Amino acid sequence: MHRVQTFTAQMLDALDLRGAVDDPIIEGIGALPSAFPVTDFASASIATAATGIAALLARRSGDRPPAITVDRRLASWWLQLSIRPLGWRLPPPWDAIAGDYACRDGWIRLHTNAPHHRAAAEAVLGRHADRAGMADAVRRWDKTALESAVVEAGGCAAEMRSIDEWQRHPQGRAVADEPLVDVATRAGTGRAAWRLEPMRPLSGVRVLDLTRVLAGPIATRFLAGYGAEVLRIDPLHWDEPSVVPEVNPGKRSARLDLRTDTGRATLRTLLADADVFVHGYRPGALAALGFGAAARRALNPALVDVSLDAYGWSGPWRGRRGFDSLVQMSNGIADAGMKWRDADKPVPLPAQALDHATGYLMAAAVLRGLLMRVDSGDTLTARLSLARTAALLIEQPRADDARGLDEETAEDREPAIERTPWGDAQRLRPPVRIDGTPMHWDLPAHALGGDEPVWTTGTASFTR
């Protein structure tokens, strides 16, 4: 268990939460098979987010913090899918040509789930109906040249590097110098007057969510599970059909066109009345729309502001498009997995663990910001990245758990039926227990864009 304890301590230290509550209990045995300690990593990130909830409860009640227990089996499965459709299936998670391809001198991954990212790859490699045609085109390229060409075309690609190669790369060196969670504080508008309800400790907290696959929606799903009002905002035509049923319970979802005056005016109103802003736009993108950091502070000086990107906030790739699967190729995880399994192709983690761990750390950063609002009135801004979260995983010794996870049973699922637009479903039981404060969602998952872009709670939780 030493790895999960080490991970937890490092994560709590990054957010100044260590010692805020008793050490979380990690129960169960076994692990997901991997070249890396993925189950320990997942359990620690969930425990860190839960620590923020428990610390808030203790601060408001004056009582001893509630105990936290994380279930290793459930934590592992929540990295993959928590929803269990009844009589229907989720759409395929990947576009028909997304995936790993052999180049003349190694491997590359193309991420083509978004139509404009596929179009960028095809602008370089030609249009292909299937992976076979794309594979023929890719084999004519060297991996570094192809990665550069696709990225310059506005697409998403990553050549496979080793861990050593990444650590020598300018971006790898830049990421290594960044903190796990880059936290900044500033004087606020006074301590928050907050009516915390122990059963739903985040009830009334308004969370504006401008994130998409996958870390940000994981963060806001966690916050919604403890009562936060999460309002997700997406562009007019964006969709994530294979992901939304998984990440959208407990949330409301609206669409805005931020290229229009009307859309930007609506977002300004929402930001002014929010408690928390979680966003995943690339560096500079929000500023170009008139919502840079200074503009956000002017709109709402008390705002807890948490953001993420893929490849870090410094270095030559700080604005590069990226996703979990691409970061795993860039930083050596997929190469290490291939060597560990003695395989002839890249072997990624058994789940998008970078997304999930970063998402729980984002939720913990939000909760640290709410604690500051209660304690001192100061406000928090935090930045995280998939690449920096990955660096923490890579630091730990290779997983050596001989035992896998016990099979899932009916007792591992919530008995309640979730009535989604796609059909009935069940959820796995939550991976964490906080004594006296259950995690559950007040709304079933539903499709993007079905709600109005307004807050529904009568008053915000924090006075300004």
Sorting pLDDT into bands at 50, 70 and 90, what band is 324? very high
Q: Can you tell me which residue has the tokens 């790993």?
A: 100
E strands within 265-413? 276-279, 304-309, 379-385
| 441: pLDDT strictly greater than 80 | yes
CA angle 212, 216, 220 (to 5 degrees): 115
| 299: pLDDT strictly greater than 90 | yes
Quick: pLDDT tens for 347-389: 999 999 999 999 999 999 999 999 999 888 999 999 999 999 9
Q: What is the pLDDT of residue 398?
A: 74
| 458: pLDDT strictly greater than 70 | no
CA distances 170 to 140, 181, 317, 399, 404, Å, are 27, 20, 9, 28, 37
Quick: pLDDT tens for 40-55: 999 999 999 999 999 9
Q: What is the pLDDT of residue 464?
A: 45
The pLDDT of 106-131, averaged and rounded, is 95
Q: Looking at domain 2-91+176-313+350-434, which of 3.40.50.10540, 1.10.3720.10, 3.30.1490.100, 3.40.718.10 is its CATH number?
A: 3.40.50.10540
Q: What is the mean pLDDT of the chain?
A: 94
CA atoms of 430 and 57, how far apart (whole Å): 19
The pLDDT of 78-95, averaged and rounded, is 96
Is residue 30 within 8 A of residue 404, CB to CB? The reply is yes
The pLDDT of 302-312, averaged and rounded, is 97
| 241: pLDDT strictly greater than 80 | yes
Q: What is the pLDDT of residue 463?
A: 45
CA atoms of 193 and 212, how far apart (whole Å): 31
Quick: pLDDT tens for 135-162: 999 999 999 999 999 999 999 999 999 9
Q: Which residue has the higher pLDDT, 65 or 439?
A: 439
The domain locations on the chain are 2-91+176-313+350-434
Q: Which residue has the higher pLDDT, 295 or 21?
A: 295
In the three-class reduction of DSSP (H, G, I as helix; E, B as strand; rest coil), residue 248 is classed as coil
Of the chain, the end-to-end C-alpha distance in Å amounts to 44
CA distances 96 to 56, 91, 113, 115, 131, Å, are 45, 12, 8, 11, 7
The pLDDT of 293-313, averaged and rounded, is 96
Q: Which of 216, 221, 251 is nearest to 451 (CA)?
A: 251
| 461: pLDDT strictly greater than 70 | no
Residue 306: count other Cβ atoms within 10 Å of its Cβ.
29
Q: What is the pLDDT of residue 164?
A: 97
Assigned token pair, 30: 């076994």
Assigned token pair, 344: 């002839």
Quick: pLDDT tens for 16-39: 999 888 899 999 999 999 999 999
Percent of the chain with pLDDT over 70: 97
Sorting pLDDT into bands at 50, 70 and 90, what band is 1? low
The pLDDT of 390-410, averaged and rounded, is 86
